[in-house]
Amino acid sequence: MAVRLPGGELIDPFGGVTALGARVLDTPTDPSVAFSDDPLRMIRAARFVAQLDVAPAERILEGIRSIRDRLDIVAVERMRAEIDKLLVAGHPAKGLSLLVETGLADIFLPEVPALQLEQDPVHQHKDVLRHTYAVVERCEADLVLRLAGLLHDVGKPKTRQITPEGVSFHHHEIVGARMARERLTALRYPNAVIDDVCTLIELHLRFHGYGDGWTDAAVRRYVRDAGPLLDRLNQLTRADVTTRNADRARRFAALQDELEERIAALAERENLEAIRPPLDGDQVMEHLGVQPGPAVGEALDYLLDLRMERGPIAQDEAFLLLDAWAKERGLAG
């Protein structure tokens, strides 16, 4: 579109105003030609759908399906940049849906369309892909968090089992973290991003044991394992609850509130962000009169376990505990 000056006449040879008014994404020329010129435009179309909250014209979808294999000439880094912008957009589910429905995701994110598990007529298990879309949208627009939301259940297809008790996905968080690492590495994400996303995926089910009753030690371990990702982990855990059962959703939210309140209360009494053994390696070696080796690491692990169970330990008491541990193992004290 253009405006003729000085008269101000609108020049709109391709019906752009009509498309904008109808909130439709289209191309001025044949989509297959436009996409063939630069195949990255196919992913960009999904990104625009996510950012602008528009619907793709049917010919856009047809054009993508007809030449989607051309995407293999596009540099991975360029694809990743578009994926990142799509994920932090206001309507990521719409963009992701376009990628899956046109088959684009099969090329660079095959784990996502694989989440379209068949509905089990006996157990009526929900579509994991739709759940994933909802989780991504429930997360704030933080790239690491939304990547974790997108990939948090990718281990389910490989771990899915149907038993008389229902559908189960045992250890899908461990399998999923491994799969996510492989996919994000292939997309050439920075190592720091990959590590954070995989940690969130590994830990996203940890909270579900909280209802069984956690001691303060369990809360400390949760905080320590999450480290600087604690706030993101809590967000992902909340976002993962997409049940339509209002009572179950309320119970879950109440438990999450309770855990976060316990974390805050412990943080007031202890430095939860820096939980470490009450002694360091040099102190252990000097006190026991031992050289660097496995015994030092075992001693530090022992003291850390005590710190987790009991909370802060004074240094004098730590040396007494170390002596008792060393005596049991026949080490000098």
Per-residue model confidence as pLDDT tens digits over 33-76: 999 999 999 999 999 999 999 999 999 999 999 999 999 999 99
Predicted TM-score (pTM) of the model is: 0.82
pLDDT band at 118 (very low <50, low <70, confident <90, very high): low
d(CA 284, CA 163): 51
List, in sequence order, every residue forming a beta bridge with 24; answer none if it has no partner: 55
The verdict on domain 12-103 having CATH code 1.10.110.30 is: yes
pLDDT, greater one: 164 or 308 = 164
Quick one: DSSP state of residue 332? -
Residues 189-218: what's their mean pLDDT?
91
36-40, 171-175, 210-214, 322-326: segment of lowest average pLDDT:
210-214
- Residue 287: the pLDDT is 82
CATH topology (fold) of 113-273: Hypothetical protein af1432 (1.10.3210)
99-103, 129-133, 163-167, 243-247: segment of lowest average pLDDT:
163-167
Q: Are 136 and 154 in contact (CB under 8 A)?
A: no
Average pLDDT over the chain, rounded to an integer: 89
Say whether 277 sits in a helix, a strand or coil: coil
Residues 161-185: what's their mean pLDDT?
90
- Residue 301: the pLDDT is 79
Q: Are 200 and 229 in contact (CB under 8 A)?
A: yes
Q: Are 256 and 204 in contact (CB under 8 A)?
A: no
Instruction: Name the residue ranges covered by the structural domains of the chain.
Output: 12-103, 113-273, 277-328
- Residue 272: the pLDDT is 63
